[in-house]
Structure 1
């Protein structure tokens, strides 16, 4: 079976050159442009390994690794960074990375390290989606991306398309503060201008509907930055 690798790097030139090298080496490659994109793709699909740059906007590579490990995802992670200092390597490894390669690097060395990671950790499909039927869960909240349905316990929430897309994005990145620009880009599209008041309005609609269904406060405001979904068990 062809091995799939996710490359996450905000530098387009690095991302594209790595993708070409990996494809020539026989890998199927999926590219992510930042940490939020990397988390979304890693949570949605199965990969043989992840190649993640540390310095990325919105969510950095260390946070990506930490969140995936907290999710129970054990996909091998090779971190790339221009920071070669010992404290930076320790931070990445402590977050759950399996290997660390400083920039600039030679592509043959990256390929060798990738082969070693995949060899040490045979690919086993992540069973999180199987166990939950693809449904995202926080407490009694159930978000079904395929059916585009949301429930709190036995109560179904009736959401508009934008409300659903916004809630799904926040829930997929539970515990991570997503800034206004990221939320607009991912929900309204890359060409949409950022309107903090409009975004606050949709967050208000979601909060009201969640409260009416009996949910506690789930969507938290980080003033001057954005919003995060957090569950206090």
Structure 2
């Protein structure tokens, strides 16, 4: 069952998390037969739903977190509501496209995929994607990996490790499966990057349990390695799609 892990950092999540490149949507949208209705599941602050709203008559976007939805951008044809991924209020055979970004690993995949089949129209497309550990430079990447694996290791939900193998252990029993890779590049300062780290669910859990900021454990060293100004940061994106 999907659980709400991101309400606490909802405002920071909206500000410091990445969106997805035009190349990704150029891969995704031509696969969709109809353009009447789309559902963006686990929409968070609506960053994907807003893009879809430019291409569909109506977009429904759901999330467990009311605080996340409070950060979402409104559109006339975009309708936000709280709902679990595995159980929605939608009628049968509703959607031409169903999307879920950086969230399938939190779901009961079997129940979620059953719900997808219920609400999808014949020939609809399901797309699931996520992104792996950020890459900056060899010396900084080593520090990030140490922080991710060693310092934060026990604070990650076990499902988070599905990201490392790009959902290979989460079944995807659909037709005409396609897979693709993309990269998201940004120019960030050390301060901005540290704020991004504070959106990690493991960091939030650490703070809940210890009343301390885990990012401070590496902040000084990372800032020193980063240097003044901005650096390019790269997020590797993996995606899969299938027909229903």
- TM-score under structure 2 length normalisation: 0.32
Q: Which has the higher contact order (CA 8 A, sep 6+)?
A: 2
- TM-score under structure 1 length normalisation: 0.33
